[in-house]
Structure 1
Amino acid sequence: GGESNPASSSVKSSNSGTSADSSAGNSSSSSESALEPCDAEEEGETKRVLATGVRYICKNGFWVEVESSSSVSSSSYFDMTEQFNPDVKYGDFTDPRDGKKYRTVELKNGVFMESYTVFAENLNYGKMISGGSVQEDSTKYCYDDDPWYCENGWGGLYTWSRAMNFPAVCDSFSVASEKCPNKFNLESDNEEFNGKYYFVQHQGICPEGWHIMNENEWVEISEKSRRDVAYYMGSKVAGFGSNNYGLSILPAGYWQLGKFDQIKLSAGFYLPQQHNSNEIAGRAVYVEKNFFERSGGASKIHALSIRCVKNY
């Protein structure tokens, strides 16, 4: 749709005597009684109902409709100044496909690995399409269908097949099947890694020379952070934690069941694996305050975040 850019400068222009203004006298009371309540911790957050395209903001305990021309004023976005840890030495990587720059961080002294290099931000590759549309090659969702989130550190949200760089049909059928012939290459020169999903280095939509963070790498992160991943690895931006190691995980939410949800509360990341018992689900890792789930699942059509790791 032709939604106006929320970051546009015309934020205040919505009060210039629109028809909504004139009829506000009688309609506001009736619409107020129908407002949906929201929780205190959601105050200031926004959500968009996909069926109608209407955007709401949580104000004083209720979801209030936001004027479309003002969408969300930039002041209600997150302040990203503390996204990274100033005491951590970061590297830089430029994705040759689109010129986007990412900070990287080296994590050392792991259980299986001496060190490995990870994106310190979520992947943001592809052209934004609206939530619920089929993700073809080089596409992504942005939270709330708002490019601000993609472009300001929160990154894109990808269905399982898109993240794996498989055809969209693989969201509905098992890998290595007639409909979805794609499969993972589990071969490795490292005898310990060979043949195991746990260690697979699958490029997916990561740049050449990088792969989607696998289960072993997430376990290394969990062990390093004494299993409190949100605290030790989480960015300070949305109150996740101390970001000791600089990984700067953000609770970027996801797209599921027809809507964008859980921003500021949860981060979900697809693993390069299909769910063992359900062929239309992908394996995923979830990070929340005081909670880390390394073997979760998500319907493959749900859209989660992606972190890339340098091949080793």
Structure 2
Amino acid sequence: MKYFVALLLSAVLFVACGDESSSSAPAPDPSEESSSSVEMTKESSSSAATKNSSSSVDGDKSSSSVKKEDSSSSVVNESSSSATPKSSSSEDVKQSSSSVVASSSSEEEELSSSSYDRTVAFKGILWRAGDYIKFVDPRNSREYYYIQIDGKDTAGKAASIKVMAENLDIGEFVWGFEDQEDDSKIEKYCYKNDTANCNNYGGLYQWAEMMQLPSRCNTESCADLIKPNHQGICPDGWRLLTYNDYYIAVHADNNKDGVKGTRSAYGFGGSNDSGFSLVGAGYNWNHSFTSLQEGTYWHYPEEQSLNGAQMSKASWQDFYSTANPVTKTLKIHGFSVRCVMVE
């Protein structure tokens, strides 16, 4: 009997020890596993978003904005340094050569036949559709559309111009951090060093390059070399846009929106009443690209002086501009170019 009792107590103790051992190693909590999985998903999603953001090129926009003029004033403002935009330092770094197409006749032809439709900048104004006339630049077979604009000039007199509705694209590509200093040929910048942007938005040119004057004219006065109806890099039979020309576009007979009526309705906040079709081509500001689809600048064939420094006369527009600003700016900045037919 005693032997049986002892055996029974041993069995009870064995069972008790087994239960304690199993309770000290609980199964994994399903909620913790689920939480860990969610965290990994979040981290993976964040990493993917970062990668996608860093790979974007054409959608990249400058975080800076161009100086806005007082919307209640249409008086010419001869300020300069305050209009200087901020620019991304990353733009100063030389891009991979694989992103750049070397300039050649075959590649120019390839870009000219790109599927990108540049006429979207002035489409949508149905009653003006027939007003645009095609012109082919024989130097590189590039097609442009131009339009006749009737309005009033700076003297308040009726005036008319035939002006390109697109920015000029001519010349050999050079890196954005270089100067356009080879006086033996036409050179151009392409936004972010991508020649597709030249095809879509036109080239960007320093003042002396636009004028087809010696590159030294970017840092010294060359007023004696400026001619009436200055051709510059425009095709034969065309001349560089002047402030008076742009004034006519702003004061076009059919333009009810002022400077807004000179900007494209396609991505640039305008109504394009005048048909001038300005686009947000961006610019090369002191060798750094900025403001694609946000702003545009253009030099005039005029010099200005500020504190003894030789500068150009220029204008700009951004998405929200309501005034017609004119400014002094450094000639080394790379801006868009428009041409007007000589008549």
Q: TM-score, normalised by structure 1?
A: 0.68
- Runs (4+) of structure 1 exceeding 4 A deviation are 68-71, 78-81
Work out whether residues 91 and 105 of structure 1, in 8 Å CA contact, stay in contact via their aligned partners in 2: yes
Deviations 1:156-180 (A, max 9, x none): 000000011111111011115xxxx
Residue of structure 1 in register with 2:196 after alignment: 148
SS of the aligned residue for 2:301 comes to strand
Residue 257 of structure 2 is aligned to residue 204 of structure 1: no
Aligned partners of 1:95, 1:43: CA distance in 2, in Å? 27
RMSD: 3.2
Residue of structure 2 in register with 1:282 after alignment: 312
Deviations 1:180-211 (A, max 9, x none): xx5112xxxxxxxxxxxxxx421111111111
Q: Give the partner amino acid of 2:341.
A: K
Residue of structure 1 in register with 2:216 after alignment: 169
Q: In the alignment, which of 78, 93, 97 is matched to residue 52 of structure 1?
A: 93
Residue of structure 1 in register with 2:161 after alignment: 116
Q: Quick one: higher RCO (CA 8 Å, sep 6+), 1 or 2?
A: 2
Work out whether residues 296 and 316 of structure 2, in 8 Å CA contact, stay in contact via their aligned partners in 1: yes
Q: In the alignment, which of 90, 97, 117 is matched to residue 132 of structure 2?
A: 90
**Counterparts in 2 of 1:206-221, with a 5 A limit?**
206-221=234-249
Q: CA deviation at 1:215?
A: 1.3
Deviations 1:112-140 (A, max 9, x none): 44321000000001111110222132110
Aligned partners of 1:184, 1:69: CA distance in 2, in Å? 39
Residue of structure 2 in register with 1:307 after alignment: 338
SS of the aligned residue for 1:202 comes to coil
Aligned partners of 2:99, 2:219: CA distance in 1, in Å? 38
Q: CA deviation at 1:54?
A: 5.9
Residue of structure 2 in register with 1:131 after alignment: 176
Aligned partners of 1:70, 1:212: CA distance in 2, in Å? 31
Q: In the alignment, which of 96, 100, 109 is matched to residue 142 of structure 2?
A: 100
Aligned partners of 2:341, 2:176: CA distance in 1, in Å? 29
What is the number of residues matched between the two proteins? 240
SS of the aligned residue for 2:251 comes to helix
**Counterparts in 2 of 1:177-256, with a 5 A limit?**
183-185=225-227, 200-224=228-252, 225=255, 228-229=258-259, 231-256=260-285
Q: Which moved more, 1:273-282 or 1:161-170?
A: 273-282
Q: CA deviation at 1:105?
A: 0.6
**Counterparts in 2 of 1:6-17, with a 5 A limit?**
none
SS of the aligned residue for 1:217 comes to helix
Work out whether residues 85 and 246 of structure 1, in 8 Å CA contact, stay in contact via their aligned partners in 2: no
Work out whether residues 227 and 292 of structure 1, in 8 Å CA contact, stay in contact via their aligned partners in 2: no
Between structures 1 and 2, the one with greater helix share = 2
Aligned partners of 1:211, 1:308: CA distance in 2, in Å? 5
Work out whether residues 151 and 249 of structure 2, in 8 Å CA contact, stay in contact via their aligned partners in 1: no
Between structures 1 and 2, the one with greater strand share = 1
Q: Give the partner amino acid of 1:144.
A: K
Identity of matched residues, %: 29
Unpaired stretches in structure 1, ≥5 consecutive residues:
1-24, 37-41, 56-67, 72-77, 177-181, 186-199
Q: TM-score, normalised by structure 2?
A: 0.62
Work out whether residues 218 and 294 of structure 1, in 8 Å CA contact, stay in contact via their aligned partners in 2: no
Aligned partners of 1:145, 1:53: CA distance in 2, in Å? 8
Q: CA deviation at 1:238?
A: 1.7
**Counterparts in 2 of 1:22-37, with a 5 A limit?**
none
Work out whether residues 117 and 310 of structure 1, in 8 Å CA contact, stay in contact via their aligned partners in 2: yes
Residue of structure 1 in register with 2:204 after alignment: 157
SS of the aligned residue for 1:103 comes to strand
- Classify 1:254/1:108 alpha carbon distance in 2 versus 1 (closer, same or farther; 3 Å): same
Residue of structure 2 in register with 1:9 after alignment: none
- Classify 1:234/1:253 alpha carbon distance in 2 versus 1 (closer, same or farther; 3 Å): same
Work out whether residues 151 and 251 of structure 2, in 8 Å CA contact, stay in contact via their aligned partners in 1: no
